[in-house]
Amino acid sequence: MVKVRSITRRGLLHATMATGGAMAFPPLRAWAATGLLNVSYDPTRELYQDIDRSFSRQWAQTHGNSPVQIRTSHGGSGAQARSVLEGAPADVVTLGLAYDIDILAQHGLLATDWQGRLPHNSTPFTSTIVFLVRKGNPKNIHDWPDLIRDGVQVITPNPKTSGGARWNYLAAWGWALRQPGGTADTARAYLKTLFAHVPVLDTGARGATNSFVQRGLGDVLLAWEDEALLAARDIGPDQFDIVVPPITILAEPPVAVVDRNVQAHGTTDVAQAYVTYLFSDEGQKIGARHYFRPVNPTILDANRDRFPDTATFDIASLGGWTRVQKDHFADGGIFDSIYSR
């Protein structure tokens, strides 16, 4: 089993490895012949380290075989999807948003109805977007308008490469639309001002966390809830506070088996068992331990102390991923019009 360093003060920086994509592991093609490869998005290293260990044991017990060898690659979700398109031999993809898997389906790597193959639109865990601030919240950041006050620097990754960054951006966009008199024009103006407060765009969520935690950049990090909770726990509650805004987005990172690759590798059965395991009671409990919100309501209720209540809206309320990608993140889209640095 390939080990991934935990997110400690020292390890956080090094755990990033190659945030640009699956090239974090050069011998991927050789690996495909002997094990299962999960190409995942950025802040899931610790989650899948535990998932892989648990699934491997279960597979060995139920099949009378040696534990299955699982390798993972991590990076910005968009960059990871491109790496699979370019030949990274993923058996499974566990990416930050559905659009990145839709792209793989459009290129024939899996069926276009992939989301209907597993429960909850193939989303085993959900998350949301929160603010990680320095201890004591010295800039008094509590809600989206506070991010654009004079003197506030915001850390968020690049929406062109990071799924988490797209969720961050859309959380802000959706909030702006929901304000009195909110329109696409007022939302665009808010996002333009917000990104004027962003000093650097990392390629992935873990890189942005490193910029905030290790490099000391910025006053607030826009982050996946799980990434913020992990940083606060492992780096130290004496250094950071988490602010949950009154309204934010429901982030739904899905999973899928890459049909073309598993057929070539002869790993169809184990890959399907792997993604199914994520929805099992044990898989859901592991997700909760790593601060991902389980979709199993019983297990979610048992972990309510980890997950504060907040009002959320989903991607469908913004038109769905196909429309959002075209309008906001495609070349020449709204993001390009508001950010030109």
Tens digits of pLDDT across the chain (341 residues): 332 223 343 344 344 333 333 344 445 554 444 589 999 998 999 999 999 999 999 999 998 878 899 999 999 899 999 999 999 999 999 999 999 999 999 999 999 999 999 999 999 999 999 999 999 999 999 999 999 999 999 999 999 999 999 999 999 999 999 999 999 999 999 999 999 999 999 999 899 999 999 999 999 999 999 999 988 887 777 899 999 999 999 999 999 999 999 999 999 999 999 999 999 999 999 999 999 999 999 999 999 999 988 999 999 999 999 999 999 999 999 999 999 76
> Which pLDDT value is given to residue 96?
95
Neighbours of 211 (CB within 10 A): 20
pLDDT digits (tens, 9 = 90+) for 300-315: 999 999 998 899 999 9
pLDDT digits (tens, 9 = 90+) for 132-186: 999 999 999 999 999 999 999 999 999 999 999 999 999 999 999 999 999 999 9
Neighbours of 74 (CB within 10 A): 29
> Which pLDDT value is given to residue 29?
52
297 CA to centre of own chain:
21
What does pTM read for this prediction?
Answer: 0.88
Distance CA 199, CA 179 (A): 26
CA dihedral 7, 210, 48, 240 (to 10 degrees): 60
> Which pLDDT value is given to residue 42?
87
For residue 39, give the H/E element and its range.
strand 36-41
Q: What residue ranges in 86-239 does DSSP mark as E strands? A: 92-94, 125-134, 154-155, 220-224
Backbone angles phi, psi at 140, to 5 degrees: 55, 55
CB-based contacts of 222: which residues, under 8 Å, 6+ apart? 129, 130, 131, 154, 155, 156, 168, 171, 172, 208
CATH code of the domain occupying 126-250+310-338: 3.40.190.10
Distance CA 198, CA 194 (A): 7
- Category of 106 on φ-ψ map: left (φ > 0), alpha (ψ -120 to 50) or beta: alpha
Distance CA 34, CA 139 (A): 51
94 CA to centre of own chain:
9
> Which pLDDT value is given to residue 19?
34
Q: What residue ranges in 151-215 does DSSP mark as E strands? A: 154-155
> Which pLDDT value is given to residue 65?
76
pLDDT digits (tens, 9 = 90+) for 49-79: 999 999 999 999 998 878 899 999 999 899 9
Distance CA 109, CA 105 (A): 5
HSE-CB for 244 with a 13 A CA cutoff = 14
11-123+252-278 homologous superfamily: Periplasmic binding protein-like II (3.40.190.10)
188 CA to centre of own chain:
24
Which one, of 212, 171, 161, lies nearest residue 194 by Cα? 171
For 3, 162, 179, 222, the CA distances from 320, given in Å and listed in that order, are: 36, 18, 20, 22
Q: How far apart are the first and last CA of the chain?
A: 41
The three-state secondary structure class of 188 is helix
Domain extents in the chain: 11-123+252-278, 126-250+310-338
> Which pLDDT value is given to residue 27?
52
> Which pLDDT value is given to residue 7?
36
Distance CA 135, CA 26 (A): 39
Output the six-digit token pair for 190. Answer: 């808010």
46 in Cβ contact with 230 (< 8 Å): yes
77 in Cβ contact with 163 (< 8 Å): yes
Neighbours of 193 (CB within 10 A): 12
Q: What is the CA radius of gyration of the chain?
A: 19
